[in-house]
Structure formats: C-alpha cells, structure tokens
Amino acid sequence: MATRRIKPSLYISVDIEADGPIPGPYSMLSFGAAVAGRQDADGFTAADPEEQTFYRELRPISDEFVPEALAVSGLDRERLVREGAEPGVALAEFSEWVRQVSVGAQPVMCGYPAMYDWTFLYWYLIRFTGASPFGHSGCLDMKTLYATKAALPLRAVAKGTMPRDLLSRRRHTHHALDDAVEQAELLANLMAWQGSASARLPE
C-alpha cells in the first residue's frame, strides 16, 4: 500500500489585543503574526521570527468595551474608530499573507496560550472573510505543548514554572507583533526541548 504523503506544518505565531473577553460584543483591536518555523518528517526548523511578519490595527466593531481589557493593550480606541483598518480588508490581507508564506505546507496558528487569540482570530476570519486559512482546527497551544513535555498538570503551568532557557529574552510588551515574535522564539525553544526533570510545580 502506498504511503500517504503528509504535508509539512508551517507554524505561525499569532497574538491579538482585544477590548473584551469574547468577539462579537467586543472587538479585536490589533493582531500580529510571525512565522516561527516549519516541521516535516525530519523535524522542526526554526525561522527568524522577524523575517516574515504581519501586523494590523483594526476599527472596533461595536461600542462596547471593558476598560481593563483596553488598558492592557495601551491602544487608543477613539483613534482606531477613525483610523483602524476595516476588519474585512485586514483579514483578507492576512489570509493572503498566510497563503503566501505557507506555500507547500499547512499553516498552523500557535500561541501562548492559544485559546483566547484563536477564538478572536477564527471568529473574525469566518465573520469577515468566510474562511480560515488554518481550517477549523489548525491551532497549537504552547502551554499544552510545554505541559506535555514537562509531564505537568496543565493548570499548574505558567511561564514562571518554565526553565529560563526556554523563554524568549524579549520583553512581553502587549504590542501584538512584539508578542507574536516573542512567542515564535518560545515555540522554537519548546520544539527543540526534550523535556526535563527540572520542570517544577509552583510552590
């Protein structure tokens, strides 16, 4: 029987900033993406996360927002109402960018943790373009990846429990592109890591 050929995966680190807990009532205000690396049958090859990137700031889609959530990003919501990109245009441009950087591979969105960012990104892609270049499940959660390799309960994992050499040396700025690049470096380190007995539960 012929062996089924499996396409490589192209991992794209994505970070979003939003003004509330869920899309629809609240808005994704910005998102950044950075190509983190490629995985095939021979293993994972890290990319320079600053080489292929994407960033947009978006016009809010509703008048509702949570002040505490908005404050995290430091973005000026009133400016975005005037100057932010139309979501449909920005998400179509992003989808095309994903297709271009992932030629010959299957794109996979990754994040730490991925759930919040994926929820907004997937909802926006379907709402404004009708499709997702990642499909409905092309998502990798770095927190789960670490928990599995470290043999720790998922809810016990935080960046403070990780060996320092796994973490990016970049600051977490809450600028979506900065954080996407930072997360891309974390993914590359996690992919190379074999797991460690030094992984610890928080005290």
- Single pTM value for the model: 0.92
Percent of the chain having pLDDT more than 90? 85
Calculated CA dihedral for residues 96, 102, 108, 110, nearest 10 degrees:
-80
Q: Provide mean pLDDT across the span 121-146.
A: 97
User: Confidence band (pLDDT; 50, 70, 90) for 200?
Assistant: low
Q: What's the pLDDT score for residue 135?
A: 96
Q: d(Cα 89, Cα 130) in Å, to the nearest integer?
A: 12
Percent of the chain having pLDDT more than 70? 94
What is the 3-state secondary structure of the chain?
Answer: CCCCCCCCEEEEEEEEEECCCCECCECEEEEEEEEEEEEECCEEEECCCCCCEEEEEECCCCCCCCHHHHHHHCCCHHHHHHHCECHHHHHHHHHHHHHHHCCCCEEEEEECCHHHHHHHHHHHHHHHHCCCCCCCCCEEEHHHHHHHHHCCCHHHCCHHHCCHHHCCCCCCCCCHHHHHHHHHHHHHHHHHCCCCCCCCCCC
Q: What's the pLDDT score for residue 170?
A: 81
Q: Provide mean pLDDT across the span 76-84.
A: 97
- The yes-or-no answer on residue 136 being catalytic is no
Q: What's the pLDDT score for residue 171?
A: 81
User: Confidence band (pLDDT; 50, 70, 90) for 4?
Assistant: low
User: Confidence band (pLDDT; 50, 70, 90) for 195?
Assistant: confident
Q: Provide mean pLDDT across the span 54-65.
A: 98
Q: What are phi and psi of 132, to 5 degrees?
A: -120, 130
Q: What's the pLDDT score for residue 174?
A: 83
Q: Given a cut of 60, is residue 79 above it in pLDDT?
A: yes
- Reported as a single tens digit per residue, the pLDDT across 102-133 is 999 999 999 999 999 999 999 999 999 999 99
- Reported as a single tens digit per residue, the pLDDT across 14-55 is 999 999 999 999 999 999 999 999 999 999 999 999 999 999
Q: What's the pLDDT score for residue 1?
A: 44
Which of 136, 172, 174, 175 is catalytic? The answer is 174
Q: What's the pLDDT score for residue 2?
A: 47
